[in-house]
Amino acid sequence: MLQVRVLKKTREAVDIQSLELGSVDGSGLPPFTPGAHIDVHVTPNIIRQYSLLNGPAETAVYRIAVKLEPQSRGGSRRVHDDIQVGQVITISAPRNNFPLHADAPFSLLLAGGIGITPILGMARHLQAQGRPFALHYFTRAPEHTAFRALLAESGMATSVHFHEGVEFAQVEGRLHEILGARGEGAHLYMCGPRPLMDLVAALSASWPSDAVHREDFSADPTALMQEGDTFKVKLARSGGTYEVPAGESIVDVLARHGIEVNVSCQQGICGTCLTAVLEGTPDHRDMYLTDDEKEEGKQMTPCISRSKTPLLVLDL
């Protein structure tokens, strides 16, 4: 965990504020790669993940942006209203579940709303390296377009395309044009609201699976609604066996028995609780593992995923 000071707080668009974070003692901050995020301890009981939107020259600070969500469980509201300039907060070192492919001859970046945060960092790094890319940014209206001025200048203007105020019924047509002809070796990166991401995923189904990358901000609601059957989980290292009933997670059951598993988002997004599976078949509900990793079945996120078999043996 790192202690950082809030150096600046800026309104970037309707309901979006950015924060600039610097080390408290001036010792510098750990390096990171484009697409990385940090855990922010908004309160002692609320931890949220926010993408770093830094350019490659910004190594002394971290920059994040937070959208005030109407259905917020407390995270975004507290960032907007309670965290102030000068305040010291706790964060994690950067982690990257959404990295840029180092050898891609072309990168297609798609962002919707606050999904611009990791995409902006990617675009700034690609621009600095002279690597070809195109960024398509979908927002409700110009006043909802965060970092518009930055994207329209800094030499990126010819690579950035704004889609402001486009009705969702028309978005599919735009995406057909954008995704229609995949260049040789091109990689696709997307981040934004789930309906947009699901549409992009469907329209890019002909792309190789290892060339399509997405960053999710929330769990799949259908996964959250499926309770699943009761099963047992055995811990290989500690030796205990526990029953996991429908409607309760593995992490919650283990916590009741005094066994703590490191968690953060508790929605299967961040990968903090990723655990090796020694026996049994996981019922994956997460957005962290790739389809190939899920098929392999050697790891799972016990904060949200369950079991397809009566017994699951974990490396805990």
> Along the 316 residues of the chain, how does pLDDT read in single tens digits?
899 999 999 999 999 999 999 999 888 899 999 999 999 999 887 888 999 999 999 999 999 999 998 766 668 989 999 999 999 999 999 989 899 998 899 999 999 999 999 999 999 999 999 999 999 999 999 999 999 999 988 789 899 999 999 988 899 999 999 998 888 999 999 999 989 999 999 999 999 989 999 998 766 655 555 667 899 999 999 889 999 998 899 999 999 999 989 887 788 877 889 999 999 999 998 878 877 889 999 999 999 999 999 999 999 9
Write down the domain spans for the chain.
2-91, 107-215, 222-314
Q: Which CATH number among 1.10.10.10, 1.10.8.60, 2.40.30.10, 2.160.10.10 corresponds to the domain 2-91?
A: 2.40.30.10
> Residue 292: phi, psi to the nearest 5?
-65, -40
Q: Which fold has domain 107-215?
A: Rossmann fold (3.40.50)
Does 222-314 carry CATH code 3.90.1150.10? no
Establish whether domains 2-91 and 107-215 are of one fold: no
CA distances from 139 to 15, 116, 171, 261 (A): 13, 10, 11, 38
Classify residue 28 as exposed, middle or buried by CB count within 10 Å of its CB (0-12, 13-18, 19+): exposed
